[in-house]
Amino acid sequence: MKYIFSTILSLLTLALCGCSSDEIIEVRYLGSATHTAILYSFDEEQSAILPADTLPRGTELQAVVNRSERVEKQTYVQVIRGKQRLYAPEQSLVAEPRAVVMEQEVFVRTPASIIVDTETSKIGSLADKGSKLQVLDYDSIDEQGAVNRYKVRQGNIEGYIYGKYTVFSHEESLKRYMPERYDRAHKAVKNPFGGGEAMGCDFYPYPKPSFADNKMPESCYALYLNISPKVIGGIEKYIELAKRTKINTFVIDIKDNECPGYKAEAMRLYSPTNYARAGANKEALYAKAVKRLKEEGFYVVARITCFKDSYLVKDHPEVAITERATGQPFRHNKAYWPSAYDRKVWQFNVELAKEVVRKFGFNEINFDYVRFPDRMTRVENLIDYHNRYNESKVQAIQRFVQYACDEIHALGAYVSIDVFGEAANPGYTTAYGQYWPALSNIADVMCGMPYPDHFSNGYYGIKKPWNHPYEILYAWGQRVQDRQSITPQPAVVRTWIQAYNVMRHVDRNGIAYDAENVEKEIRGLFDAGLTGGYTTWLSSSNIEKYYQQEGAFVHDYYKEWQSRNR
């Protein structure tokens, strides 16, 4: 039966293309050591072969295997392309689709992780810019002939790297993205606090995803919910408030420092103390809360703190920032900090993120504490970050975000990252490794934290900025726009806003953040052109306080902004 079908297909092909009966036509696939391959025409008068068409490798062709031309020691086999008779190099025509990828080595254009276990996101090594990797295999190619992930060898490490970070020549791998446009801006950035040189980051545009079954709102109006059973278990109260307003998004804690949410499998595997301290019955609360929110049409975000995690350090002191004198974990800001250079820390947080996307269906992962500790300049020489790959802080943080995005995007979820308000300042890289343009180029959403009572008196020329929420957020928003302008493919900006009253140690006579003042913050952001939305920072998630601020949540700020800017 198979032979009969093949014979009928061949006869149909002969009839349709006007082929003679003595021609032997077989299916072949176009292979190449790059994304594309060239088909040629044959000039009989000059016995010359001339480029005629370029196609993605993997293209299926009808090859006339007994018709060929020999030109300059190269055999070209005739192929049928529509009504044309063209020629392909003999070695470019392969019988098996898997054989179309022919490169034996690739070169790294964008520094990236080599993943040795794609199921657990385990990192085996760093593939640095300009390095050569031996190609062993690949997983798939797209319609343009580009490989999704290569299986490669680097030294004695075998693993996977995304094809988008590689090129086919060493010369190409050393190039920077549009240096004539961007290098001048990044070269001007100083490094006075040891965060690293801005030019050490990578600015090739990172593709921003769009998932058909996971639509991010054009502008997110979000309430923050902590891990308390009273909060998560009382989700109906928050839904009731949200439905009375324009709230369309909820951000829910999964792991904060010494506050793990539910007994996640990732915690059991990587951090038993986080697992032991998590709520015994919380998983059901999370499942119910997220299910109800999604039933009501809300976009739901999971918040995970990364590099401030005392319990992880307790379980694995080898991943901690340590004191040089004693070798013991370094305590800072009442907590122990895993080093942001350590890939095992990266893996734990990303595996936890992947778990909550799969288990509960979160639309987005929000990573907080995506940084090194702040206020460390006086003790830098006294501590050891265990910097295995000799990276700067800004490089390590950008590369973590890149790794996290790759792994989480594969599950159809978005990634947002929290950054200090200071990261919007021009002229220098921060001491803790957050360089806005480098991170905005990778993340889907940038979540700045410009809380008015965190600004010092006179900042941006504003006296007691905490008492002037509109003015301080507007001024900050303008600086963010400057940072976004030197980012090749900037993220959405969705800002954390202060929803708590001015802290007493800042100003005993500071204003209360009621509906009026919360609204002023939001309007300051939108008037500065930051239209991605807002998230309330109220650590208690107190429902009564949120109801007091309801007047700030009833406005559709994005639609108002659109009407003003038509």
Which residues make Cβ contacts (< 8 Å) with residue 565, sequence separation at least 6? Answer: none
- Residue 494 near residue 220, CB atoms below 8 Å: yes
Angle subtended at Cα 281 by Cα 542 and Cα 238, rounded to the nearest 5 degrees: 25
Domain co-membership, 295 together with 363: yes
Closest CA to 375 of 321, 421, 424, 432: 432
SS3 content of the chain, % helix, strand, coil (to 5): 35, 30, 35
Residue 521 covered by a domain: yes
Residues 467 and 547 in one domain: yes
Mean pLDDT of 547-559: 98
CB 170 within 8 A of CB 107: yes
Cα separations (Å) of 393 from 115, 389, 398, 539? 21, 11, 9, 28
Angle subtended at Cα 61 by Cα 57 and Cα 62, rounded to the nearest 5 degrees: 160
Residue 206 three-state SS: coil
Beta bridge partners of 68: 77
- Same domain for 25 and 128? no
pLDDT per residue as tens digits for the range 301-360: 999 999 999 999 999 999 999 999 999 999 998 999 999 999 999 999 999 999 999 999
Give SS3 for 336: strand
Domain presence at residue 186: no
In a domain? residue 536: yes
Average pLDDT over residues 200-209: 96
Can you tell me whether residue 523 is helix, strand or coil?
helix
Q: Which helix (H) or strand (E) holds 367?
A: strand 364-368
Strands (DSSP E) contained in 18-102 are: 25-30, 36-43, 48-56, 60-71, 74-81, 84-89, 93-94
What range defines the domain where residue 153 resides? 105-175
Separation CA 326–CA 446 (nearest Å): 37
Based on the domain organization, do 142 and 207 belong to the same domain?
Answer: no
Helix axes 515-527, 469-485, angle to 10 degrees: 30
Task: Give a yes or no: residue 191 inside a domain.
Answer: no
**pLDDT for residue 21:** 67
For residues 319 and 437, state if they share a domain. Answer: yes
Residue 320 lies in a domain: yes
Q: Which CATH number characterizes residue 269's domain?
A: 3.20.20.80
Residues 434, 339 share a domain:
yes
Q: How much is the pLDDT for 19?
A: 60
DSSP string, 134-146: EEEEES-B-TTS-
CATH number at residue 171: 2.30.30
Q: Which residues contact 414 (CB under 8 A, 6 or more apart)?
A: 209, 211, 214, 216, 363, 364, 365, 408, 444, 445
157 and 306: one domain? no
Domain count for the chain:
3
Question: Strand pairing partners for 537?
Answer: 498
Cα dist from 515 to 20, 245, 520, 554, whole Å: 82, 13, 9, 10
In this prediction, residues 491-502 reach a mean pLDDT of: 98
In this predicted structure, the answer to whether residue 106 has a pLDDT above a threshold of 60 is yes
Total length of the chain: 566
Cα of 455 vs its chain's centroid, Å? 29
- Interstrand relation of 335-336 and 495-498 (parallel, antiparallel or unpaired): unpaired
- pLDDT tens for 131-172 read 999 999 999 999 999 999 999 999 999 999 999 999 999 999
> Do 66 and 123 reside in the same domain of the chain?
no
**Of 552, 553, 558, residue with least CA distance to 530:** 558
- pLDDT confidence of residue 9: 46
- Domain termination residue (choose one: 54, 80, 100): 100
Burial 398-409 (b: 16+ CB within 10 A, else e): bbbbbbbbbbbb
Across the range 433-451, mean pLDDT stands at: 98
Q: Mark whether 169 and 226 lie in a shared domain.
A: no
Q: How far apart are CA 414 and CA 410, in angstroms?
A: 10
Q: What pLDDT is attached to residue 260?
A: 98
Alpha helices in 339-468 (DSSP H): 343-360, 393-409, 436-440
Question: Residue 408 in contact with residue 348, Cβ under 8 Å?
Answer: no
Using the predicted structure, report yes or no on whether residue 6 has a pLDDT greater than 50.
Answer: no
pLDDT above 90: residue 2:
no
Task: Answer whether residue 183 shows pLDDT above 90.
Answer: yes
Q: Is pLDDT of 505 > 70?
A: yes
511-544 tens-digit pLDDT = 999 999 999 999 999 999 999 999 999 999 999 9
Whether residue 182 is contained in a domain is answered as no
pTM of the model: 0.94
Question: Does residue 3 register a pLDDT over 70?
Answer: no
Q: Which two tokens stand for residue 431?
A: 């001491």
CB-CB contact of 57 with 93 (8 Å): no
Residue ending a domain, choose from 50, 72, 100 = 100
Distance CA 555, CA 370 (A): 31
Question: What's the confidence (pLDDT) of residue 529?
Answer: 98
Q: What is residue 1's predicted lDDT score, i.e. its pLDDT?
A: 47
Give the CA angle between residues 89, 93, 97 to the nearest 5°.
150
Say if residue 374 is in the same domain as residue 473. Answer: yes
- In the prediction, which pLDDT does 45 show? 79
377-397 confidence digits (pLDDT tens): 889 999 999 999 999 999 999
Convert the pLDDT of each residue in 27-61 to its tens digit: 999 999 999 999 999 988 788 899 999 999 999 99
Q: How far apart are CA 360 and CA 89, in angstroms?
A: 51
**Three-class SS of 464-521:** CHHHCHHHHHHHHHHHHHHHHHCCCCCCEECEEEECCCCCCCCCCCCCCCCHHHHHHH
Decide if 187 is inside a domain.
Answer: no
Boundary of a domain, candidates 79, 100, 121: 100
The answer on 243 and 167 residing in a single domain is no
Q: How many CB atoms sit inside 10 A of residue 282's CB? A: 21
Q: Check if the beta carbon of residue 497 is closer than 8 Å to that of residue 522.
A: yes
**What does DSSP say about strands 60-71 and 25-30: parallel, antiparallel, or unpaired?**
antiparallel
CB 9 within 8 A of CB 79: no
In the chain, what is the straight-line distance between the N-terminal and C-terminal CA atoms, in Å?
Answer: 65
pLDDT at 18: 57
Whether residue 243 sits in one domain with residue 158: no
Please report whether residue 214 resides in a domain.
Answer: yes
Q: Helix crossing, 515-527 with 557-564: angle to 10°?
A: 40
What mean pLDDT, rounded, does the chain reach? 95
